[in-house]
């Protein structure tokens, strides 16, 4: 996916809250938020919170099967009208889906109220790891330039005890070498997060983190193919503050 603009991020806030993105799309959104302006991040998080609060407030009534015509209307909204396989941007496609879902939900409510039947929306699914990270009160972002071009950003939360490393625009390792990523603790030996060869490095490369509490930095070193038991030549290190 190409880099998301601030407007596209905000367009995706509602479908992110509804868990209507696949794993790759969700990771792209989280990565884009890491470098988004603070005002955009705050607005995105506010929309996510509002959508989920609305779902929670509607969990006091019983669920019913939607009428058949609602299902048909939803399919008409989502499916291309001309029968072609036209390609749409994720923001356009997901926003259309959100509008279709909203219209269908409204139709269900009207139909149910008309016959005096109480309804209940299903409880939203448990927050994913990405959701918990994104909405963490102590969410932080730390970045460093990579020699030779590109950057490394770490998005992390001590409270959630998780994070993600994002390598943007970083060149592949030289021939007969590899990158190795390390989780450096406050005390003790660095722990390897994996070895990355040339085939593993793309325009935007992401590595999930766990157990960030007690971690002082994330580093990348240049190693022989297959990696090393300890860092040999560290080329970039991103501190985890707070």
* pLDDT band at residue 43 using 50, 70 and 90 as cut-offs: confident
Look at residue 78 in the predicted model and tell me its pLDDT: 46
Residue 162 forms beta bridges with which residues?
157, 210
pLDDT of amino acid 54:
61
User: CATH 2.60.40 occupies which residues in the chain?
Assistant: 136-239
Mean pLDDT check: name the lowest of 57-61, 68-72, 125-129. 57-61
107 within 8 A of 50, measured Cβ to Cβ = no
Residues of the chain with CATH 1.10.10.1320: 6-114
Q: What pLDDT is stored for residue 224 in this prediction?
A: 96
* Burial (0-12, 13-18, 19+ Cβ within 10 Å), 28: buried
* pLDDT tens digits along 166-186: 999 999 999 999 999 999 999
Distance between alpha carbon 237 and the CA centroid of its chain, in Å? 23
pLDDT of residue 225 exceeding 70, the answer is: yes
59 has pLDDT over 50 = no
**pLDDT band at 114, cuts 50/70/90?**
very low
Q: Which of 14, 73, 80, 20 is nearest to 48 (CA)?
A: 14
For residue 130, what pLDDT is reported?
Answer: 72
> Over pLDDT 70: what percentage of the chain?
67
DSSP state of 198: G
Which residues are 141's β-sheet partners?
155
* CA–CA distance, 146 with 203 (Å, rounded to integer): 13
**pTM listed for this prediction:** 0.52
CATH architecture group of domain 6-114? Orthogonal Bundle (1.10)
3-state helix, strand, coil in the chain (%, to 5): 35, 25, 40
pLDDT, mean of residues 175-203: 94
Q: Under a CB-based contact definition with an 8 Å cutoff, are residues 177 and 229 in contact?
A: no
Closest CA to 162 of 218, 229, 237: 218
Give me the pLDDT at residue 18, please. Answer: 72
User: What average pLDDT does the structure give for the chain?
Assistant: 76
pLDDT bin (cut points 50, 70, 90) of residue 101 is low
Q: What is the mean pLDDT of residues 131-137?
A: 81
Higher-pLDDT residue of 146, 26: 146
pLDDT of residue 84 exceeding 90, the answer is no
* CATH number at 136-239: 2.60.40
CA pair distance 122, 114, nearest whole angstrom: 20
């Amino acid at each position: 996916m190409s880099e998301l603009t601030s407007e596209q991020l905000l367009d995706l806030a509602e479908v992110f809250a509804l868990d209507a993105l696949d794993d790759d799309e969700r990771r792209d959104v989280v990565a884009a938020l890491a470098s988004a302006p603070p005002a955009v991040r705050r607005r995105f998080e506010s929309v996510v919170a509002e959508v989920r609060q609305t779902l929670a407030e509607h969990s006091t009534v019983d669920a019913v099967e939607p009428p058949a015509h609602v299902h048909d209307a939803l399919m008409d909204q989502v499916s291309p009208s001309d029968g072609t396989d036209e390609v749409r941007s994720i923001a356009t496609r997901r926003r259309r889906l959100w509008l279709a879902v909203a219209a269908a939900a409204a139709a269900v409510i009207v139909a149910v109220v008309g016959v005096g039947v109480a309804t209940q929306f299903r409880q939203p699914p448990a927050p994913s790891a990405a959701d918990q990270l994104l909405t963490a009160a102590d969410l932080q972002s730390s970045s460093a330039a990579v020699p030779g071009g590109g950057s490394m950003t770490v998005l992390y939360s001590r409270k959630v005890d998780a994070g993600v490393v994002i390598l943007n625009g970083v060149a592949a390792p030289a021939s007969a070498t590899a990158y190795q990523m390390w989780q450096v603790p406050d005390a003790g030996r660095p722990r390897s997060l994996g070895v990355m060869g040339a085939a593993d490095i793309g325009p935007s490369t992401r590595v999930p983190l766990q157990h960030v509490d007690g971690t002082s930095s994330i580093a990348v070193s240049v190693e022989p193919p297959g990696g090393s038991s300890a860092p040999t030549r560290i080329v970039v290190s991103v501190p985890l503050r707070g």
